């Protein structure tokens, strides 16, 4: 559908990823003078945030991203985030990466669904970018990268019509279709139901430019109003206060897309599958064996060719970050994950035989960093004990 969807999808999911990582890294921080070599410190956190952000906003990469194109599969996109999450010294295993990706996607699905007007998905994106700029505010070069992306967004999306934004929203909702993963922070805030579907409020302000429902006005042939009738519409809406700012700086006027993992709250990122009585059609949705593989691989190669990843091999061990309470839990989650939800990079490996794309082989080579070095006295281990309930 809309060929303008990918940049918004990528930036917002990326923003959610940074929120979660920042929160998790802060929770594991040890003051630098007390930290052992394998423990996370504030310096490490900043380094991870900076590395991932500068990779995410790499000029060449964004150039590819902003080219008009269709959305590819969830698997293909997941591969991009796997790589992005490993753009620094931090290492995530399959279980934590799955959980991270689930949290990111459900958060953005919620934001798209609740967006007052289709156009406001741009404000949600700006909220993410505003927060990212704050994360990396000590690195003027990266701030400049983010600002350039801001300009590009304003340039490309500023002139789109309401109809085009509605098409973008419909495309995003098709992408997120059938994802009903329950997230504890949403369940606790009562914005998600136990069946995994989100709560749609029937009160509060209406979108900017919309009148509060409840009035019928009738006109005669001369255009004069001849009758006004009120009716009970069943909701409890109020007028919109103001429109959010679509400029580089300003009040976005909505909280969707801001950081909901604030430090004051205990870490609450538990995810669980929706009850099984719901027909989960993820697997049925793709009847064909996947004729896309080649097209998709080309897309990934192009996109990730633009990502400049600093090699972290060498004497420095990659720091591990676990999104579960214990390692056992993490392993268990990876094992018990329903088939249709596991995103292994199998179809990437299939291309290794073909050897048709040098660039891709290089990328895949780097993917092997996944299989951690065995001398794994990871920084994560001791810190796990300190982590609150996840």
Partner 1 sequence: MYRRDRPLLLRSCPAALYNNLCVLPLPASGLAQFALVHGSNCELLSAVPSGLPLSQRLLHAKEGAGLNLPLITQAYWCVLPFRVLLVLTSQRGIQIYESDGSVMVYWHALDSSDAPPAQALFARGIAASGHYICVGTWSGRVLVFDVPAKGPNIMLSEELNEHRVPVTDIAAEPAQGQDCVADVVTADDSGLLCVWKSGPEFKLLTRISGFGIPCPSVQLWQGSVAAGFGDGQIRIFEASSGALHVQINAHARSISALDLAPEAGKLLSGAEDSFVHIWKLSRNPDSGCIEVEHCHAECVTDTLVCGARFCDPKGSSFAVTGYDLSEILRYSCV
The residues binding partner 1 (CB under 8 A) are 1-4, 68, 70, 113, 116-118, 161-164, 166-167, 169-170, 173-174, 177-178, 180, 193, 197-200, 202, 206-207, 209-221, 223, 226-227, 229, 231-235, 237, 278-279, 281, 284-285, 287-288, 291-292, 294-295
Is the backbone of residue 154 left (phi > 0), alpha (psi -120 to 50) or beta?
alpha
Cβ at position 115, least distance to partner 1 in Å:
10
Complex with partner 1: residue 161 or 355, whichever CB lies closer: 161
The C-alpha atoms of residue 29 and residue 35 are separated, in whole angstroms, by: 9
Q: Which residues, including other chains, have CB under 8 Å from residue 68's CB and lie 6 or more apart? A: 3, 4
Cβ at position 63, least distance to partner 1 in Å:
15
The C-alpha atoms of residue 40 and residue 26 are separated, in whole angstroms, by: 9
Complex with partner 1: residue 72 or 261, whichever CB lies closer: 72
The C-alpha atoms of residue 235 and residue 322 are separated, in whole angstroms, by: 43
Cβ at position 274, least distance to partner 1 in Å:
11
Complex with partner 1: residue 247 or 295, whichever CB lies closer: 295
DSSP symbol at 337: S
The C-alpha atoms of residue 374 and residue 382 are separated, in whole angstroms, by: 17
Complex with partner 1: residue 237 or 261, whichever CB lies closer: 237
Complex with partner 1: residue 288 or 346, whichever CB lies closer: 288
H or E element, residue 108: helix 94-114
The C-alpha atoms of residue 28 and residue 26 are separated, in whole angstroms, by: 5
Complex with partner 1: residue 272 or 282, whichever CB lies closer: 282
Cβ at position 146, least distance to partner 1 in Å:
23
Complex with partner 1: residue 216 or 346, whichever CB lies closer: 216
The C-alpha atoms of residue 124 and residue 61 are separated, in whole angstroms, by: 22
Cβ at position 153, least distance to partner 1 in Å:
14
Cβ contact 83:367 at 8 Å? yes
State the helix-helix crossing angle for 121-135 and 162-175, rounded to 10 degrees.
70
DSSP notation for 123-162? HHHHHHHHHHHHHTTT-HHHHHHHHHHHHHHHHHHTT--H
Complex with partner 1: residue 166 or 361, whichever CB lies closer: 166
Cβ contact 89:319 at 8 Å? yes
Half-sphere exposure of 131 (CA within 13 A, CB side): 25
Complex with partner 1: residue 170 or 272, whichever CB lies closer: 170
Cβ contact 388:327 at 8 Å? no
């Amino acid at each position: 559908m809309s060929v303008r969807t990918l940049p918004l999808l990528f930036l917002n999911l990326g923003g959610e990823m940074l929120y979660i990582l920042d929160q998790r890294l802060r929770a594991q921080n040890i003051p630098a003078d007390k930290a052992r070599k394998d423990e996370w410190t504030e310096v490490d956190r900043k380094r991870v945030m900076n590395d991932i952000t500068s990779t995410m906003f790499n000029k060449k990469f964004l150039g590819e991203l902003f080219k008009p194109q269709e959305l590819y599969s969830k698997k293909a996109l997941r591969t991009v985030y796997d790589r992005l999450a490993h753009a620094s010294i931090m290492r995530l295993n399959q279980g934590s990466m799955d959980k991270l990706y689930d949290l990111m996607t459900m958060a953005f699905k919620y934001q798209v669904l609740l967006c007052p007007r289709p156009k406001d998905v741009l404000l949600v994106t700006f909220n993410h970018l505003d927060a990212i700029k704050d994360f990396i505010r000590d690195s003027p070069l990266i701030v400049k990268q983010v600002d350039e992306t801001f300009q590009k967004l304003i340039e490309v999306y500023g002139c789109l019509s309401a109809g085009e934004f509605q098409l973008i929203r419909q495309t995003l909702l098709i992408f997120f279709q059938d994802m009903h993963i329950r997230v504890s922070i949403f369940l606790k805030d009562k914005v998600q139901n136990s069946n995994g579907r989100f709560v749609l409020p029937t009160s509060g302000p209406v979108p900017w430019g919309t009148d509060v429902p409840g009035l019928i006005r009738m006109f005669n042939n001369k255009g004069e109003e001849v009758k006004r009738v009120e009716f009970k519409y069943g909701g409890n809406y109020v007028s919109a206060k103001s429109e959010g700012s679509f400029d580089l700086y300003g009040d976005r006027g909505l909280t969707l897309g801001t950081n909901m993992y604030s430090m004051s709250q205990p870490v609450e990122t538990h995810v669980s599958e929706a009850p099984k009585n719901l027909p989960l059609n993820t697997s049925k949705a793709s009847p064909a064996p996947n004729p896309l593989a080649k097209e998709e691989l080309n897309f990934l190669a192009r996109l990730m060719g633009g990502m400049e990843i600093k090699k972290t091999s060498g004497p420095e061990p990659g720091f591990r970050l676990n999104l579960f309470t214990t390692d056992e839990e993490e392993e268990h989650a990876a094992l018990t994950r329903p088939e249709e939800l596991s995103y292994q990079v199998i179809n990437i490996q299939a291309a290794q035989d073909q050897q048709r794309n040098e660039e891709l082989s290089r990328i895949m080579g780097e993917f092997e960093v996944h299989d951690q070095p065995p001398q794994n006295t990871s920084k994560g281990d001791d810190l796990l004990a300190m982590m609150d309930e996840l």
